[in-house]
Chains A and B, each alone.
Chain A
Amino acid sequence: MPSAVPFLHNSTVLGTATPLLKNPRLGLAVALAGAVLLQSCGGWIDPYVTQVILFASINVILAVSLNLVMGETGQFSLCHAAFMAVGAYASALLTGRLLPASFPHLVLTGTSPASQALFLPVLVISGLVAALAGFVVGAPSLRLRGDYLAMVTLGFGEIIRVILQNTNAVGGARGMEGILPVTNLFWAVGTAAVALYTMIALVRSTYGRGFHAVRDDEIAAAAMGINTTKFKVTAFVIGAFFAGVAGALYAHAVEYISPEGFNFLRSFEIIVMVILGGLGRPVGVAVAAILITLLNEWLRDLSQFRMVVYALIIILFMIYRPSEKVATLLHRLMPFGRNDESRTP
């Protein structure tokens, strides 16, 4: 009986696969159009609200990129803020020193066409520098597992911070100031959309299942012909790339960076976003990043009680998982991401 009907079944399985293959691009196009629209209405948006949107977008990029390493590939990394620092400093050096020195007659201010046009290559180069750092850390240490990897990444994060603190060329502990405010709604929201799209498109493919296979069972993955080290390093490098891009956006949004801004606590905050959003669920993680950004803003007025309330709310978040619920709702509303995971039989 069953051998007579397999092709009937094929069609239903493919039926669920088809929207999955086509629609992430549609989602990206909509989000990019939204970013352009947002930027063109930028004048009517309150500057404070604008800043919150910038921070939320940067946190989304950080969280979904760490999610690739922690959530999808199952590797515990404690140095995501360090990759962000590498990107931030690289970009600040590019726009603050290298560009003015090599092209002295360019008008470089936050909104000048030259700096806006050059910002894309700056973002990409900053990301690549961070990705290189990710490769240097990842290639040797990703042969380690679990706790050992956590320790190596913790150490690396501190090394980066201490190096920056003691390098006078980048301001040492004082940091770098007077960075051009190039980051605007278009760059922040657009890059967040690209990051989220990349993560979803990457994981929802035969190739992307390799990350999950490595997370679920490394020995079995290797026995099925998957080069597990290569997959782990790839996840780490892509994660570091987007963390570097986020760092560049951050530097050009707040106009001032210092080594302390990229310490272990910053890494930890990103980890909280990933865990709250549900490990391995990019949309949920993005929602969690937005919620935590908003939480940080709401709690600003509480001054000394801020961390107490923050901790309490995080505990409540952990129990009730609002970001997963919002993500599930979004999955239902949006065309992509349905019928993908094994959760729904």
Chain B
Amino acid sequence: MENASIQAATWFWLLIPMPLVVVLSFVNLIVNRGK
């Protein structure tokens, strides 16, 4: 892989999945509100 694409993949894996689970937890909180 090109150097630039390796670094892009690195930042992707670092910066996408972890914030995503926080967003999903927030969605879950909204969906379950009042249940």
Asked if A and B are interacting partners, one says no
Which residue numbers of B lie inside 8 Å of A, CB to CB? none
